[in-house]
Amino acid sequence: MENEIIRLKSISRHYKVGSEIVKALRNIDLVIKRNEYVALMGPSGSGKSTLMNMIGCLDTPTSGSYMLNGNDVSRMNDNELAEIRNKEIGFIFQTFNLLPRSTALENVMLPLVYAGLNKAKRLEMAEKVLADVQLTDRVKHKPNELSGGQRQRVAIARALVNNPSILLADEPTGNLDSKTSVEIMGLLEDIHKNGNTIIVVTHEEEIAKKAHRIIRLKDGLIESDEMNPEIYKQQ
């Protein structure tokens, strides 16, 4: 139990669309342990985005319970969820979601402002994670002065700066060319080796194959949950 970071128990999420009830998730049970590297897969409408939003505390379940790092987040209000998101979860998005008028350094420092750290500490922590993603020479550059791969590295640094419990990456290579995609997935592998728990949401088999465990969803249910044999062959 103490090695668990995520425990979903009988999680359902229903939406009302007009007079219809859409069952996006149906009684999902899922445990993810510390330092796992998991891919969530599934076609459009499978429930993978809803599950990602649930894990990322962007949405609350219709029924069921969600324990994240010992906290019951399924019963939290919006303010409590915002605090948990800032402290426990690092988000990486397909579209990078960087502030266009801010430098790489300022973008990475932003979560630390919400965490209430003083400027000297924010600066120190942001510079360290930018060095970790090999961007020391780009800290003063704004997003439009960076390549797509560099922008995603800034986004990864921002996700890491609070030392979150989990890193949640939504189609992290969706806007990148194949060479840059390989670099970014290599960086995520390095981050995982450093002890981070990583969950990647993707519809691409090539990206999912980098993960150590692959969970496939269909019609709001977990269709399969398997360890990646390719990874374990290499070890």
CATH assignment of the domain containing 213: 3.40.50.300
> Can you give the pLDDT at residue 46?
92
> Can you give the pLDDT at residue 235?
53
**Residue 158 located in a structural domain:** yes
> Can you give the pLDDT at residue 4?
93
**Residue 123 located in a structural domain:** yes
> Can you give the pLDDT at residue 234?
60
**Residue 1 located in a structural domain:** no
Note down pLDDT in tens along the chain; length 235 residues.
569 999 999 999 999 999 999 999 999 999 999 999 999 999 888 999 999 999 999 998 999 999 999 899 988 999 999 989 988 999 998 888 999 999 999 999 998 888 888 999 999 999 999 999 999 999 999 999 999 999 999 999 999 999 998 999 999 888 888 899 999 999 999 999 989 999 999 988 989 999 999 999 999 999 999 999 877 666 5
Domain hosting residue 43, numbered range: 34-61+77-234
**Residue 4 located in a structural domain:** no
**Residue 9 located in a structural domain:** no
**Residue 57 located in a structural domain:** yes
- End-to-end CA separation in angstroms for the chain: 26
**Residue 128 located in a structural domain:** yes
Q: How many domains does the chain have?
A: 1
C-beta atoms surrounding 198 within 10 Å: 24
Contact in structure between 10 and 65 (CB atoms under 8 Å):
yes
**Residue 20 located in a structural domain:** no
* Short-list 158, 72, 156, CA closest to 114: 158
